[in-house]
Structure 1
Amino acid sequence: MNVTSKYAQSLAELKAKPTHYLKEVGDQWQTPPALFWGVFAKFGPFVLDLFTDGENNKCANYYTAEDNALIQDWADDLNGCKAFANPPYSRSSYEDEQAITGMRNIIEKTRAERDKGAKVIYLIKSATSEVWWPEDADHVCFIRGRISFDLPTWFKPANKKQAASSAGFACAIAVFDKDWQGSRMSYINRDDLLRDGKIILDIINAAALHIPTAINAQKTIEYKNASKVTNESIDLENTTIESNYGDVVTNEQIDLEHLIAQVKHKEAAFSKWPSEVQYVVEEAFKANPNKFNDYRQAVLSEIANTRLLEQQRPSKIIAELSEMLERTEPMRAEA
């Protein structure tokens, strides 16, 4: 994507420098993984990271400085799901009178998107005296204990003194969700957030270590050269697919009942997918309720997962999957 603002250009130039100093990091301090997953556990799930440098995103879908989150349609991209953000705190900057940064601009944009149905959860400085402080947030959870943030992945310390984390400061979690039903304010201990986040990280790491075994033990569907899946139209019933049971079906009608029988014989189940994958697949089937079966669900989940990893918007993925289903035959009702 082309760099279109002075702010984005400056960030690109900073990332390209051979070495860096702490004072240059500015807006780009990263949310520690355990802290993010702690917030995720309490207020998620999240499917979109609103403010990133292109490398520090916490969600598969994200906006970069080049995208400029303040001109995007959050509500449309979220389509009922939630967004996360650790927003930039630099002073307001503009390009052709369009705001790019500035907490007052960000909170103003957030209010407008909330009115349209967006659900946004911020990790922000606990700065209640600032003019931008979101008094009208639907919920604010103050974090007991100071938070330190991580250096960006692209940071190359100019010397040993530069290899350090940020100074800790008080933080809060602000929820913008017009459907919020809870209290307006609460408190949580930093260590509890970090503990819960570490539990999720441990689960993720354990699952990653067992992926080869799980794949061999379960009936899963693998796309040939999955990383090369494009936006071209895909025929669900005429696609080359390989299963871990050794069956290869090439450009001919797939015997779905035979594959399903193999799954039952092996006492295996289709892969479990993240909530954002499940969401887009369910939405596609809502428009085509008579096209559902487990095999098609598995194929669409593979495609949806690939698209999300490519940072495509959920609404676009749902439209693509729905189009694929429209070209398939309806399932016959059981006698």
Structure 2
Amino acid sequence: MDDVDDRATTPLHFAMFVERFGQFTVDVAAAAHNTKCEKYYDRETDGLRQSWADELVWCNPPFSAIEPWVLKAWAEYERARGIVMLLPANRTEQKWWQKHVEPHRDRPGSGLRVEFLPGRMRFIRAGHLDVKPNERPPFGCCLLIWSPTP
């Protein structure tokens, strides 16, 4: 699934996210060649098995298996400084979205809000340093943003 899963957020987009949310302290679903933070978890260190406590978390998870990452964010968000997860916006009909996102998003006290991003983001494919022409995915993206509740 690396063709789908090993796609990096561009530096331009990531810089915009840092400007909005602050300097992320850990990239929990990364590889050495595409991490956005000095501290990161790759397949071997498995961000799903690590604590996200006291971290400002960046997560661009494998799009082939999103649900475990959403569940992990729910388990960690009250101990984390914040979690920002980049997801495809065309999955809202899927069970994991309907069960773990839709009933909670943008509700007072839930800790989760969702932002649908304009246009279609481009991603950097594995083995490349930049985005190549016509490499825009056929879907828009959204951010799931968990903030600790006071």
| TM-score with structure 2 setting the length | 0.79
Could you tell me whether the CA contact under 8 Å between 2:9 and 2:60 is conserved in 1? yes
Residue 128 (str. 1) matches residue 98 (str. 2): no
CA distance in 2, matches of 1:117, 1:42: 17
Q: Which has the higher contact order (CA 8 A, sep 6+)?
A: 2
Alignment correspondent of 1:147: 121
1:6-17 alignment to 2 at 5 Å? none
Structure with the higher fraction of residues in strand conformation: 2
Distance 1:24 1:63 in 2: 16
> In the alignment, which of 106, 112, 126 is matched to residue 75 of structure 2?
112
State, as a whole percentage, how many aligned pairs show the same letter: 27
Match runs of 1:151-162 below 5 Å: 151-152=125-126, 154=127
Q: Secondary structure at the match of 2:117?
A: strand
CA distance in 1, matches of 2:80, 2:120: 32
Post-superposition CA distance 1:26-65 (Å, at most 9, x none): 2001111101111111122211101012210001111011
Q: Does 1:59 align with 2:56?
A: no
Cα deviations by residue, 1:193-251 (Å, 9 ceiling, x for unpaired): xxxxxxxxxxxxxxxxxxxxxxxxxxxxxxxxxxxxxxxxxxxxxxxxxxxxxxxxxxx
Partner residue of 1:173 out of 139, 143, 149: 143
Q: Residues 239-318 of structure 1 correspond to what in structure 2 (within 5 A)?
A: none
Aligned residue in 1 for 2:108:
none
Distance 2:10 2:18 in 1: 12
Q: SS of the residue aligned with 2:28?
A: strand
| Partner Cα separation in structure 2 for residue 69 and residue 24 of structure 1 | 17
Distance (whole Å) between structure 2 residues aligned to residue 128 and residue 106 of structure 1 = 15
Q: 2: CA distance between counterparts of 1:70 and 1:178?
A: 19
Residue correspondences, number: 137
Indicate whether 1:47 and 2:25 are aligned. yes
Runs of 4+ aligned structure 1 residues displaced above 6 Å come to none
Does 2:2 correspond to 1:28?
Answer: no
Deviation at 1:167, TM superposition (A): 2.4
- Residue 173 (structure 1) shift: 1.2
Separation in structure 1 between the aligned mates of residue 133 and residue 118 of structure 2, nearest angstrom: 26
Residues 84 and 146, structure 2, Cα contact 8 Å, conserved in 1: yes
Instruction: Give the SS at the match of 2:120.
Output: coil
Cα separation, 2, equivalents of 1:108 and 1:27: 18
Cα distance change, pair 168–31 in 1 and its aligned pair in 2 (3 A)? farther
Superposed CA deviations along residues 139-160 of structure 1, whole A, max 9, x for unmatched, are 11111211221112x35xxxxx
> Separation in 2 of the partners of 1:163 and 1:109?
34
Structure 1 unmatched ranges of 5 or more? 1-22, 91-101, 156-161, 181-335
Q: Give the superposition deviation at 1:163.
A: 7.8
Gap regions ≥5 residues in structure 2? 106-111
Following superposition, the deviation at residue 116 of structure 1 comes to 3.0
Question: For the structure 1 residues 72 and 163, does the alpha-carbon distance in structure 2 shift closer, same or farther, using more than 3 Å as the test?
Answer: same
Paired position in structure 1 for 2:109: none
> Aligned partners of 1:179, 1:45: CA distance in 2, in Å?
20
1:84 pairs with 2:62 = no
Q: Which has the higher helix share?
A: 1
SS of the residue corresponding to residue 149 of structure 2 reads coil
